[in-house]
Amino acid sequence: MSKPQNVPGDVRSKSLVDYLNDENVRAVLYQIIAIGLVILAGWYLVSNTLYNLEKQNISTGYGFLDLEASFEISETMIDYSAQSDYATALLVGLLNTVKVAVLGIILCTIIGTIFGVARLSSNWLVRKLATVYVETFRNIPVLLQLFFWYALIPAAFPHPRNAFEPLPGVLLTSRGTYLPVPVADNAYTLMGIAAIIALVAIYFIKKWATKRQDATGQPFPILITSIGIFVGLVLLAYLIGGAPTEMSIPALKGFNIQGGYNISPEFMAVLIGLTVYTSTYVAEVVRSGIQAVSSGQWEAADSLGIKRSVALRKVILPQSMRVAIPPLTNQYLNLTKNSSLAVAVGYPDLVSVSNTTMNQTGQAIEAISIFMSVYLGLSLLTSLFMNWFNKKMALVER
Amino acid sequence: MKIQTILAAGAMTVAAVAAQNAHAGAVLDGIKAKGFVQCGVNTGLPGFSAANAEGKWEGIDVDVCRAIAAAVLGDANSVQYTPLTAAQRFTALQSGEIDILSRNTTATTTRDAKLGLTFAGINYYDGQGFLVPKKLGVSSATELDGATVCVEPGTTTELNLADYFRAKGMSFEPVVIENINEATAAFFSGRCDVYTTDASGLASIRTTMAENPDDYAILPEIISKEPLGPVVAQGDEQWSDVARWSFLAMVEAEEFGVTSENVDKMKAESKNPGIQRLLGTSPGMGEALGLDEAWAYNIIKQVGNYGESYEKNVTAKLGLERGLNALWTDGGLQYAWPIR
């Protein structure tokens, strides 16, 4: 953009009208106005809300987070009691949401992939069964599925007093599945550290092996080596830690089964419901991904003499991944967001705890703002990770 | 020029909308304009508020809504009901979605002072108890250490429960389910050892939802005070006055022995100045509240007095005696402020 107004000898200084008729000035001006209107609208909404709350004598602010929560939560992954503050209660809810979402994503991917491949099977029965599974569970609203699983579990299993024991120490009851777990010991912390070290070592060995194969064409038995390193290191840590053997075995005591680890019916209902529902979509994504790779790729691999299993792993799947990852990301996001339906069956997820908090403190707007930002954050994280993964998998164009 | 015009218009819009304050009497004017009272009730608690076989809402809490509609609009049936869960109720009131909340709600300091609510009276004095299956073999709440307890979230019940077990040094596992029907279903399926809510609610659940009510017992301990009553949003004093006095008129009528049966006769013949003031024979009370002089007459004629409402809903359906809810003259706590 030139600056004619600074040119000496310009006979006429520019008037305001000239400026407003300048295309560039106008473009900038319109943008400023647009942003201004958005800010004005936002300011109006916020100030009006505050004004109305003030007028109704409803207190505002996040100060309530430090107050004692005074209610109990059935499932917690961290230390929590009724004496803890609301912030801790919300954190408990968040962790429960993350727990069910992460497990759900892993399980629905596995189950979805199996059914997706099964839908393309050459076996008529397998193909049809997979189709029935997908079409049934995809077309029933997920909330109804949650109700169904939650009604089924207490009805299907016996009262804790007559618990069903399929394996020694494993109890199936209407109040959940109880598993024996090792009593906490320093050895387990040590084993965790060993596992992390092993994973890091495996990562570098794999890098080295790929490099060597690229350079010399010599394949390296990476799978066996990895398993060896992992099991060896963890076992070593266990022995160094003193090889503790004490277990917490669940047993009936008083009203309930005490000890062990309890997988509650609420958690089971939510996990099964979300996994089954989302896995049908994942199955379709996987199927479309595989079908998107042209059959010429199989033939090309065949003509190079590559084994069929290796061709699937090295030729077909990497290409179908490219097609599958973006819609898969959507499904993962859906699962995470659908986990908020857990409140309907009493699983203490973030929404459930926020609802209670909102009700006990009356801070509806604050509580909603917290859980909305948390869901947004979780979804953005998932999407960031999947975008990174997608980029890694994308075709490298030369 | 153009830009200035747009900006000015924007600023004016903002100013205009911000100026739409609720003034005193706004709720009452709104009700008169739309022709009905929007009332928040329980999703289903027989005796208090529940839809009957014909889909008509009935219960002692529903009668408070009907009384207010009778006082304001002269027709007890001009009520629209919004069934609410415990967790939804205050938001519905604060947002103005409902005019009044009559849903077995306990009056507490936090709710009164921090949530922007005003309690318009206490129509049921209650306390929290425990419901257990008889086969559990428990006869006292002090034996409940380690029990699994079903409870509705966002209630004073949930807090009292934690307080009680903490005070007794006992532990429990809560199962919180928002919808009362889902929560009771979980209890009856054996998911929980104990169901806890207000004693009246337990009676309601036991008699109306259990397959065989005799298999269940309510433990003797009452662990809290639960004064339940209608609630309105703070900031419109005229409306909270109307709500309060509509309920008190029902109690006052019972004290005077005025019933839906004899109200016409009383209005024509009674020489008692108190009754004359109540029924509008000697005017002034209606005007003071911004209502028709026949406000209390309409309530009593169409809804009945407090005793009639209690008898019809609570005693007949749940088999609960008056207890704390008897008139003060009979040793109870129901005591109408004088209407004069």
**Residues B72 and B140 both lie in one domain:** no
- Using a CB-CB distance cutoff of 8 angstroms, which residues of chain B are in contact with residue A259? none
What pLDDT sits at residue B14? 43
Count of structural domains within chain B: 2
- Cα separation, B289 vs B238, in Å, equals 7
A174 contact B CB<8A? yes
Q: Decide if B162 and A40 are in contact by the 8 Å CB cutoff.
A: no
Angstrom distances, CA of residue A182 to CA of A77, A103, A254, A258, B72: 16, 21, 22, 14, 67
Average pLDDT over every residue of A173-185:
85
Report the range of poorest mean pLDDT among A11-15, A34-38, B85-89, B279-283.
A11-15
Q: Decide if B162 and A266 are in contact by the 8 Å CB cutoff.
A: no
Average pLDDT over every residue of B234-242:
92
What pLDDT sits at residue B23? 54
Tell me whether residue B86 is in a domain: yes
User: Which residues numbered 95-154 in A keep a CB inside 8 Å of some CB on B?
Assistant: 147, 151, 154
Facing residue for B18 by CB, picked from A51, A53, A57: A51
Facing residue for A56 by CB, picked from B10, B176, B233: B233
What does the pLDDT look like over B258-273, one tens digit per residue? 999 999 999 999 999 9
Q: Decide if B182 and A360 are in contact by the 8 Å CB cutoff.
A: no
Q: Decide if A359 and B86 are in contact by the 8 Å CB cutoff.
A: yes
Q: What 3-state DSSP class applies to B171? A: coil
- Cα separation, A146 vs A341, in Å, equals 8
- Using a CB-CB distance cutoff of 8 angstroms, which residues of chain B are in contact with residue A159? 190
ipTM metric: 0.72
User: Which residues numbered 38-57 in A keep a CB inside 8 Å of some CB on B?
Assistant: 40, 44, 47-48, 51, 53, 55-57
Q: Decide if A33 and B173 are in contact by the 8 Å CB cutoff.
A: no
pLDDT band at A134 (very low <50, low <70, confident <90, very high): very high
Nearest CA among B328, B118, B337 for reference residue B246: B337
Tell me whether residue A347 is in a domain: yes
Facing residue for B91 by CB, picked from A44, A159, A364: A364
Nearest CA among B171, B177, B130 for reference residue A256: B171
- Cα separation, B89 vs B83, in Å, equals 9
What pLDDT sits at residue A184? 78
Q: Decide if A159 and B190 are in contact by the 8 Å CB cutoff.
A: yes
A362 contact B CB<8A? yes
φ, ψ of residue A170 to 5 degrees: the values are: -100, 120
**Residues A45 and A98 both lie in one domain:** no
Query: Which contacts of B16-21 are long-range, i.e. CB under 8 A and separated by 24 or more positions?
Result: B17/A44, B17/A48, B18/A44, B18/A47, B18/A48, B18/A51, B21/A55
Nearest CA among B300, B148, B117, B265 for reference residue A57: B117
Tell me whether residue B240 is in a domain: yes
| Residue of chain A whose alpha carbon sits nearest to that of B163 | A70
Tell me whether residue A31 is in a domain: yes
**Residues B110 and B150 both lie in one domain:** no
Q: Decide if A82 and B176 are in contact by the 8 Å CB cutoff.
A: no
Between β-strands B124-126 and B226-233, what pairing exists: parallel, antiparallel or unpaired? antiparallel
Tell me whether residue B296 is in a domain: no
Tell me whether residue A367 is in a domain: yes
* A247 has pLDDT over 50: yes
A343 contact B CB<8A? yes
B41/chain A closest Cα distance in angstroms? 16
**Residues A273 and A328 both lie in one domain:** yes
User: Which residues numbered 269-328 in A keep a CB inside 8 Å of some CB on B?
Assistant: none
User: pTM value?
Assistant: 0.78
Q: Which of A8, A38, A53 is the last residue of a domain?
A: A53
Tell me whether residue B37 is in a domain: yes
Count of structural domains within chain A: 2
Best of B4, B84, B191, B239 to substitute, by most chain A Cβ atoms within 10 angstroms, is B191
- Cα separation, A328 vs A95, in Å, equals 23
User: Cβ(B222)–Cβ(B128) under 8 Å?
Assistant: yes
* A8 has pLDDT over 60: no
Q: Which of B204, B224, B244 is the last residue of a domain?
A: B224
Question: Using the 8-state DSSP alphabet, how is residue A13 labeled?
Answer: P
**Residues A343 and A295 both lie in one domain:** yes
Best of B20, B164, B173 to substitute, by most chain A Cβ atoms within 10 angstroms, is B173
**Residues A92 and A135 both lie in one domain:** yes
Angstrom distances, CA of residue B15 to CA of A40, A41, A44, A50, B11: 12, 12, 9, 15, 6
Average pLDDT over every residue of A230-250:
86
What does the pLDDT look like over B305-334, one tens digit per residue? 999 999 999 999 888 889 899 999 999 999
% of chain B at pLDDT higher than 90:
68
A133/chain B closest Cα distance in angstroms? 28
B48 exposure class (CB count in 10 Å sphere: 0-12, 13-18, 19+): buried
What pLDDT sits at residue B156? 84
- Using a CB-CB distance cutoff of 8 angstroms, which residues of chain B are in contact with residue A34? none
Tell me whether residue A116 is in a domain: yes
- Cα separation, A126 vs A134, in Å, equals 12
**Residues A125 and A49 both lie in one domain:** no
What pLDDT sits at residue A70? 85
Nearest CA among A286, A270, A331, A275 for reference residue A108: A275
- Using a CB-CB distance cutoff of 8 angstroms, which residues of chain B are in contact with residue A47? 18
φ, ψ of residue A365 to 5 degrees: the values are: -65, -40
**Residues B193 and B236 both lie in one domain:** no
Tell me whether residue A69 is in a domain: no
Q: Decide if B154 and A360 are in contact by the 8 Å CB cutoff.
A: yes
Q: What does the angle CA A138 – CA A143 – CA A149 come to, to the nearest 5 degrees?
A: 85
| Residue of chain B whose alpha carbon sits nearest to that of A365 | B91
* A2 has pLDDT over 60: no
The pair of structure tokens assigned to A225 is: 């080596």
Sign of the torsion formed by the C-alpha atoms of B215, B221, B224 and B228: positive
Facing residue for B234 by CB, picked from A47, A57, A73: A57
Residue at A6: amino acid letter: N
- Cα separation, A332 vs A328, in Å, equals 6
- The parent domain of residue A356 ranges over 86-140+269-393
Question: Which residue reads 């090295």 in tokens?
Answer: A314
B231/chain A closest Cα distance in angstroms? 14
- The CATH number assigned to the domain holding B118 equals 3.40.190.10
The pair of structure tokens assigned to A271 is: 């996990």
- Cα separation, A371 vs A375, in Å, equals 6
Average pLDDT over every residue of B293-302:
96
Q: Decide if A362 and B115 are in contact by the 8 Å CB cutoff.
A: yes
- Using a CB-CB distance cutoff of 8 angstroms, which residues of chain A are in contact with residue B18? 44, 47-48, 51
Best of B109, B165, B175 to substitute, by most chain A Cβ atoms within 10 angstroms, is B175
Helices (DSSP H) in A217-294: which residue ranges?
Answer: 222-240, 265-292
Tell me whether residue B274 is in a domain: no
What does the pLDDT look like over A160-172, one tens digit per residue? 888 888 888 888 8
pLDDT band at A35 (very low <50, low <70, confident <90, very high): very high
B88/chain A closest Cα distance in angstroms? 8
Q: Decide if B153 and A359 are in contact by the 8 Å CB cutoff.
A: yes
Angstrom distances, CA of residue B68 to CA of B107, B133, B294: 20, 40, 12
**Residues B45 and B118 both lie in one domain:** yes
B237/chain A closest Cα distance in angstroms? 12
pLDDT greater at residue B238 or residue A122: B238
User: Which residues numbered 57-96 in A keep a CB inside 8 Å of some CB on B?
Assistant: 57-59, 70-74, 82-83
A390 contact B CB<8A? no
* B16 has pLDDT over 80: no
Nearest CA among A157, A376, A377 for reference residue A269: A157
Q: Decide if A55 and B177 are in contact by the 8 Å CB cutoff.
A: no
Tell me whether residue B339 is in a domain: no
Residue A215's H or E segment, with its range, is helix A186-216
What pLDDT sits at residue B208? 86
Q: Decide if B176 and A348 are in contact by the 8 Å CB cutoff.
A: yes
- The CATH number assigned to the domain holding A310 equals 1.10.3720.10
**Residues B33 and B165 both lie in one domain:** no
What pLDDT sits at residue B11? 46
**Residues B112 and B75 both lie in one domain:** yes
Tell me whether residue B8 is in a domain: no
What pLDDT sits at residue B299? 97
Tell me whether residue B166 is in a domain: yes
Sign of the torsion formed by the C-alpha atoms of A118, A123, A124 and A129: negative
The pair of structure tokens assigned to B78 is: 């001009």
Query: Residues for chain B: how many in total?
Result: 340
Q: How many CB pairs under 8 A join A and B?
A: 137
- Cα separation, B39 vs B68, in Å, equals 10
**Residues B47 and B120 both lie in one domain:** yes
Q: What does the angle CA B124 – CA B130 – CA B131 come to, to the nearest 5 degrees?
A: 105
User: Cβ(B41)–Cβ(B83) under 8 Å?
Assistant: yes
- The parent domain of residue B309 ranges over 26-125+227-252+304-329
Helices (DSSP H) in chain B: which residue ranges?
Answer: 2-18, 26-34, 60-73, 89-94, 109-113, 156-167, 180-188, 199-209, 237-256, 263-269, 273-279, 285-289, 295-302, 306-310, 316-318
Q: 3-state SS of A287-312?
A: HHHHHHCCHHHHHHHHHCCCCHHHHH
**Residues A44 and A125 both lie in one domain:** no
- Cα separation, A318 vs A337, in Å, equals 28
**Residues B210 and B142 both lie in one domain:** yes
| Residue of chain A whose alpha carbon sits nearest to that of B91 | A364
